[in-house]
Structure 1
């Protein structure tokens, strides 16, 4: 796939458990691909700034946090939900890194580790944290809540873009009342505004058949496929 918006850069500052908090068994979404999908969604969106971005399967909030750092110019609010309470607690900590107080707290944690152990990995993480701090232009509103997306009937906010990495295979557990991309889209339909753009990434074996959404774009990337849709 040809990347139109996301440059091929060194994203090591976003490595899991470096500055951002990780969790055993959770696979983090590729930074460059998440940026590319977001920017392609933004291209289709009628709204170009003050974007409210929602991830309905946010896990530890990795993708939302990364996009918050990389898109300070257009994102107003980042909101995530997940059925797993333990992951939501980590997502809250990750999204807090987008605030001045949150990143300063993380810097102090890393300074303490450097002083205590003197490991190069801690020194590298501290340098990364300081670089991430410099990316913060304004404090993005962030919010996470525990929810089963298959049971959600209403959102107290209007999402401009919904993005999600659809769980699959044995990499993560797909917990919820239903499963499959079309079941997810059925649930998202009532949560979408007329202008909402939906970007989903999935395993190539998973297909979108739903007739309730109009396909705007689809691409295969390695073992993954992403689709961009809007309500039909």
Structure 2
């Protein structure tokens, strides 16, 4: 009786791992790049307005994702894939879907200049390389731009709060005074007095804030 010969070659089954979608690939790549870049930016201690800082960072991230999408297989429109990746990433970061869609629409508008060229942050993000300081390079272009500085944003925020709370307080005091010491006025007249007094407070505060803004802007332009 012949013995069965053992086959020295062991056959193993191949386990196929499904490829991730282009959107997920862009998100993973974008998060990795951004984590490194934000570390470089943090070391610089820039003082920019929050809205400008976030918009610029997101436009840069879009450029990074756009370039990566072009390097992937089965991507017909790399630019739209990058925007879709941004939308998905915003939602995963707990932004409401409607708000995420609005944000992406805003970024689409800001990603192009009037002449049709790409915005600076997009162009630098698109041409970035691993571990370079490209996001720092973007922000360096705006360090002397007083219109996007954190100081101006804080001035605007304080002025807005002063006008809001101050106007409400003045209106309340006037309505209380008219109601208590000038009885017989109609409700409409009392409300009108409150609104007029609030306007008399808000308008000067707004004009003073606007004057300060223009003076600082003029001074910054003269210094450059």
Same fold (TM over 0.5): no
What's the TM-score, normalizing by structure 2? 0.29
Between Structure 1 and Structure 2, the one with more helix by share is 2
- Of the two, which has the highest radius of gyration? 2
What's the TM-score, normalizing by structure 1? 0.29
Between Structure 1 and Structure 2, the one with more strand by share is 1
